[in-house]
Structure 1
């Protein structure tokens, strides 16, 4: 009674001061619209990695010495498949210089044929001779090019800086976290635009092709593809508008829920900007979900108002009654959505946490715009009769459909439904165990295989001996450890063991370079390609390797073993990481430890482990929140079971679908499961809120379900179909991750709706006693 009194007070206060409340909404909307125009795309590299993961602590600790995982690789290629011509070297020099002066580029890490640190060493009668691969007096004539070609072969950089077939040459660097010009975080999207315009746009010509890869370039391409989201948003609005108009047959009643839902999106973006957040390309889809959720709740409100008007109420009375009736189920449903999204904060990855905040803010705005603003606006208009409440022109036809569907709540039919559901769940659960954690395809998984970025990736992988997928294992030891044979021998044995792990293409470390240099001091005899046990000889072997090589730090207390992998598929990363852990335990000692991990694949490994660790807790938090809110709302364990069990079955089937479609559980797909549960619970709450009232009044389960279908059924069905059609347009996106999300959300929207009208009443048939 006390709770009902609070609702009555809120209702009376709002509707007595309708004009003042609407003025407040208008002023707030103007302010937040201005704030929304100030929002920017934000794609910082560190947001995409679990910073508190042990691998990432190692990565951050040694990033300054060995470079980070945020690299840019630019392959300059000659279309004639021969780089030894003046035009090519002019272009290569131009790319090197242009990249060197782009703000945010770590100039120390810029590496190409024109870098002074790119040197060759050769064995001569007196020992060693060497110098820069491209000498200071280089002229791109026939003689000069012949000298450079010889130096390239002596330097042993074919396959790394120069392509195996001499058709391309690489310019690569690492990026800093802070833009030195602004003192703020480096804007990856702006830098990606500079790479595209100032390097590819300027130097790609008839004979020269430019191929650029790296996290920053990938984010830039994703941001470019994300612009298409605006088109899909417009299409979704158009489809939703048509579906809502078909449902209510009134232009005014169509415009109101659409407008209120768009206001919720504006408020969401405005609040994000006000709180200092940007919008990441990976979470740019969330505003559409907010709009879709808003429309689904708006349709419920319009449906309720129209029915009451047809029962003789005025528009204002109908709006007030609908507000009172729907505030609790609608509020609980939206609160479930919000809490469900907030559980994503438990995942230690910045982009997922921002997505959680973005989605939660949006759903919180819907509570105000669609449960408060919408009925207030409706109270001022004249709602036409016979639009919704009669379920179309032939109410008897609709009633016959509802009567047929009400048999789902009879035990004889329910037994069949539950048996089929159980079979589906068992099959789904078994197949869901094969769901992989991480990326399952080569190239950038956010983009389609035929995208320019992935085509550049495939070309670089094909042209060069080293893979762009590499992982650095940092060997932490005591100062000057590289002068001790026992320490270097352990590193050498670790490297040899790792080179023989399936999926590892090659490996390099200071130990392997020292062996090559030692052979050079002995006339290049392969028998001497070993680590010397003599400290002086060992010092001689490593003296020519500078710390700028990335193979040791200044005091030789940290040395990476760089593993080049064949790909970054989840199973490859898992296999390599598991073997590293075994060998680290076997070969490590008090003076020497092997630390995972740096490099792009090290980041992927940490992300995969963070996603895997978060999967079960996230689901427990989501379902825990839904269960608690349902218990508070219905104050009935039976009602909670009836709502939650279908949700859980659908979540399991969604994981089966991911396995069947070869979609891995990643940063972009993990939140979809939580989003699907949060949004999917709305159907069940709306249906059961009507059923529970009828059941408390002594109605049979079938009768209660029949009344719920008459009151809410059409609205539930139309919103489920509308949401599914809206996200199904994502199938045509330029972004692969958006296609995957579209497939999963379409499935969850539709199947959760089907489960709410099919499985929920079947469960209810056995949870409530039969009455005559």
Structure 2
């Protein structure tokens, strides 16, 4: 056994174990209070939390938000008819009812709602008497052929074919801008925040389900941020189910590991209490559970199980020599509290580094994870040993531990050869070659942002992605819009120099790969100028006569320029919001702006949902390397503080770095982009890995201080703690591997990533750490530096 089991009692040990009843009472009271708080927690997210508010694109967007009709937070509802077309009484009456239902949904920006039934969707034509126009839906109802013929003519003259009206005339779109905060219907002075889960549920019940059941000839298709988040929130139930499955698997494997039902229940109970405390505390801090932080409770559970298994393993080993459970628990507490504390501090600081990303949802994830690992100090490092000091460990488990302590272990003996002088170099070379190859592979192939159309967080055959495919297939303009803001002095947005530059921008963007088209004030002006000249295509150009230009823009629809004519948005329609598409489009605008920007005219990025995505991708790309550096610097500092050895720190940290590099390479291979949903996983995965390394090295150092050679010391380390590390890695990997069957692709991808990281972190701690120790650690120097022990 370790020499330091005979060391003097620490202050913390006396404080905890001399007041066990008080500790149990305090923990019980706190658990009841925080358990009640945890029951109040609800799914919660917001559009503002998903975007980097300090990014220049978003700053520009917010600065001009009053002049922009659509900031990107909107949904599109396509109402399709299976048999027939939109020019029928059946379709138009159904569309009218759906439009009215959507109009009164809470959170809808009613002034910006657009459909064939709203007065802001208009048609325009040139006659011998001049311009004529009006709303597309010019009749209160369409009950006869004449009115339907009028509707057909108006649609053809509206310019909305391919935008609001499908190219095959079998569906139309309702564009629904949303408000993050909206007046309370019962108290107009109070603002309510949009509940995306409830809003999505209302869309399903009041729109899709109601109208599809009433009329099987009608189908509804909905896309947009609110609908995607709503579907993810709906999938939280699946997360709870898989958490339950992981809990059951962990219970079975824990019992197989301990052969003691009391120990098994104690570990699970204290770890679940840690999750309850974490949920209760984040609710008390005013946070909820959003779709992207739903993995945090499981990570807290995983880290808690990791520490709990080490404690139970240590108590079982001590029970063979101790007179009773209390002494065994105290010795284990004395031996493992400091390594466990340092590992948890390293976890917490690693999670806090995520705060450098200026995205609200990641801030909440970082705070929630840091709070959770802080809680583990109390539940798994303190409460678990106290609980076992009362309950004890079964005789069967103690006898098994005694047999393991004296018998030869062929498996651990073979594993100890990783520290052999002839084996260690091969392992280091393999790690070096594999890490180098993975680094260059991920550098060449890992992209920031989405790599698939639609919502990559959901399965390709999910309802949302099928709806997205329907809209892409039937309309000329996609829902992915990049808005470039052209800023001028007042009354100068229609100046010829401005209009000519905007025209050049449209041409420049339209010829970039991934861009469908561009629409702006210039597009309308050209149409009007052509109409003023008998529709002659030769006149579809900008006039140098300012009066002609002013007259042309006077007929522009709302949103093409602001009231003071100091801002004119250019809407660039993209094929999709894939990372490469956004990068190409924003780079094109930036290059154009660098050439055309003047003191009186600036081309600013960016609004629209694609602009927001581009800003988010840019924030993640600029923060990714910084986060990893901060994580490893702080983990290294904590390890150095623990072991007072640079060599020991390198032995613990390098396997974690290798795991991160291999994890990024796996993401690139699987086609998973680095984004809000996936970036935290790499940083969070370090949390479990550092636990393995610290526990293994702390035991290895104990045996080296006893004067053992490195390989023999590592064999004893494996006999005492290797089983716990191996079990923890396999147990957690098996539990989270069940997530690959989830209907939510984001959860399945994260399950695969976490499984990989749990296993590779465990393998790195058991194989690479001792191999590195062969080159970096001097056993004789460690043995010589051992201070005299105080015997009792």
Shift of 1:696: 2.8
For residues 282 and 644 of structure 1, what CA distance do their matches in structure 2 show?
A: 27
- The 3 A distance-change label for structure 1 pair 533 and 37 is same
Distance of aligned partners of 1:564 and 1:195 in 2 relative to their CA distance in 1, 3 Å threshold:
same
CA, structure 1 residues 392+307, in 2 after alignment: closer, same or farther (shift >3 Å)? closer
Using the alignment, how far apart are the partners of 2:414 and 2:149 within structure 1?
86
- Alpha-carbon deviations, 1:709-729, whole Å to 9, x = none? 111011000000011111111
Of residues 101, 112, 115 in structure 2, which corresponds to 1:112? 115
Alignment of 1:518-537 (within 5 A): 518-537=529-548
| In 2, Cα distance between equivalents of 1:629 and 1:650 | 19
1:237 to 230, 247, 251: 247
Distance 1:20 1:521, change over 3 A: same
Per-residue CA distance 1:550-599 (angstroms, 9 max, x = gap): 21111110011110011111111111111111001111111100110001
Displacement of 1:71 = 0.4
Q: 1:617 pairs with 626, 629, 634, which one?
A: 626
1:693 to partner: Cα distance: 2.0
CA shift in 2, pair 1:410/1:389, >3 Å: farther
Q: Which whole-Å CA distance do the structure 2 matches of 1:321 and 1:397 have between them?
A: 23
Rounded to whole Å, the distance in 2 between the matches of 1:565 and 1:392 is 68
Q: Where does residue 61 of structure 2 map in the other structure?
A: 59
**1:133 equivalenced with 2:144 (yes/no):** no
- For residue 690 of structure 1, the aligned residue among 699, 721, 725 is 699
1:690–1:169 distance in 2 versus 1, CA, 3 Å:
same
Of 219, 230, 249, the match for 2:259: 249
Alignment of 1:256-271 (within 5 A): 256-271=266-281
How far apart, CA to CA, are the structure 1 residues paired with 2:380 and 2:316? 16
Q: Describe how 1:170-181 pairs up with structure 2 within 5 A.
A: 170-181=173-184
Would the aligned equivalents of 1:471 and 1:597 in 2 still touch at CA under 8 Å? Answer: yes
- The residue aligned with 1:540 is 551
Contact 2:296–2:368 (Cα < 8 Å) also in 1: yes
2:301 to 269, 282, 291: 291
Return the alpha-carbon distance in structure 2 between the equivalents of residues 369 and 312 of structure 1: 24
Indicate the residue corresponding to 2:314 in structure 1. Answer: 304
Where does residue 229 of structure 2 map in the other structure? 219
Deviation at 1:458, TM superposition (A): 0.8
Would the aligned equivalents of 1:249 and 1:388 in 2 still touch at CA under 8 Å?
Answer: no
Residue 760 and residue 703 in structure 1: after superposition, are their counterparts in 2 closer, same or farther (change >3 A)? same
Aligned to 1:73: 76
- Give 1:330-369 correspondences, 5 Å limit: 330-369=340-379
Counterpart secondary structure, 2:183: coil
For the residues of structure 1 that align with 2:226 and 2:705, how far apart are their CA atoms? 59
Match of 2:39 in 1: 37
Deviation at 1:382, TM superposition (A): 3.2
1:163 corresponds in structure 2 to 166
For residues 6 and 577 of structure 1, the distance between their equivalents in structure 2, rounded to whole angstroms, comes to 64
| Post-superposition offset of 1:138 | 4.1
Q: Which moved more, 1:401-410 or 1:147-156?
A: 401-410
After the TM superposition, which residues 457-476 of structure 1 pair with which residues of structure 2 at under 5 Å, given as runs?
A: 457-476=468-487
Please tell me whether residue 483 in structure 1 is matched to residue 497 in structure 2: no
Query: Which position in structure 1 is the counterpart of 2:637?
Result: 628
1:137 offset after TM fit, Å?
Answer: 4.6
Q: Paired residue for 1:13?
A: 15
1:374 alignment partner in structure 2 = 384
Q: What is the deviation of 1:397?
A: 6.8
Question: Does structure 2 retain, via aligned residues, the 8 Å contact 1:336–1:678?
Answer: yes
Q: Is the 8 A contact 2:322 2:328 kept in 1?
A: no
CA distance in 2, matches of 1:483, 1:233: 59
1:326 matched to 2:326? The reply is no
Q: 1-side partners of 2:398 and 2:149: how far apart? A: 83
Say whether 1:672 aligns with 2:681: yes
Q: For 2:485, what is the secondary structure of its paired residue? A: strand
1:26 alignment counterpart: 28
CA contact (8 A) 2:259 2:396 kept: no
Contact 1:391/1:398 (CA < 8 Å) preserved in 2? no
Partner residue in 2 for 1:586: 595
Distance in 2 of aligned mates of 1:306 and 1:482: 78
| Aligned 8 A contact 1:473 1:560 in 2 | yes
SS at match of 1:276: coil
TM-score, L = length of structure 2: 0.95
Deviation of 1:140 (Å): 2.9
Q: CA deviation at 1:388?
A: 6.0
Task: Pick the aligned partner of 2:756 from 747, 756, 761.
Answer: 747
Tell me if the contact between 2:320 and 2:402 (Cα under 8 Å) persists in the aligned partners: no
Instruction: Say whether 1:198 aligns with 2:201.
Output: no
**Residues 317 and 402 of structure 2 are in contact (CA less than 8 Å); yes or no, is this contact kept in structure 1?**
no
- For structure 2, the residue ranges without an aligned partner over 5 or more in a row are 1-5, 185-189, 784-792
Q: Distance in 2 between matches of 1:73 and 1:300?
A: 52
For residue 403 of structure 1, the aligned residue among 391, 413, 419 is: 413
Aligned mates of 2:635, 2:99 — CA distance in 1: 56
Distance 2:194 2:322 in 1: 62
Partner residue, 2:3: none
Taking structure 1 as reference, are residues 71 and 660 closer, same or farther at Cα in structure 2, changes over 3 Å only? Answer: same
Q: Which runs of 5+ in 1 are unaligned?
A: none
Shift of 1:65: 2.4
RMSD: 1.6
- Measure, in 1, the Cα distance between the counterparts of 2:318 and 2:403: 17
Say which of 686, 704, 722 aligns to 2:731.
722
Q: Secondary structure at the match of 2:410?
A: helix
- The one of 89, 92, 95 aligned to 2:95: 92
Q: Distance in 2 between matches of 1:11 and 1:392?
A: 25
Q: Kindly indicate whether residue 462 of structure 2 is the aligned counterpart of residue 451 of structure 1.
A: yes
The total of aligned residue pairs comes to 767
Q: Which moved more, 1:520-529 or 1:415-424?
A: 415-424
TM superposition score normalised by structure 1: 0.97
Compared CA separation, residues 762 and 388, structure 1 to 2 (3 A): farther
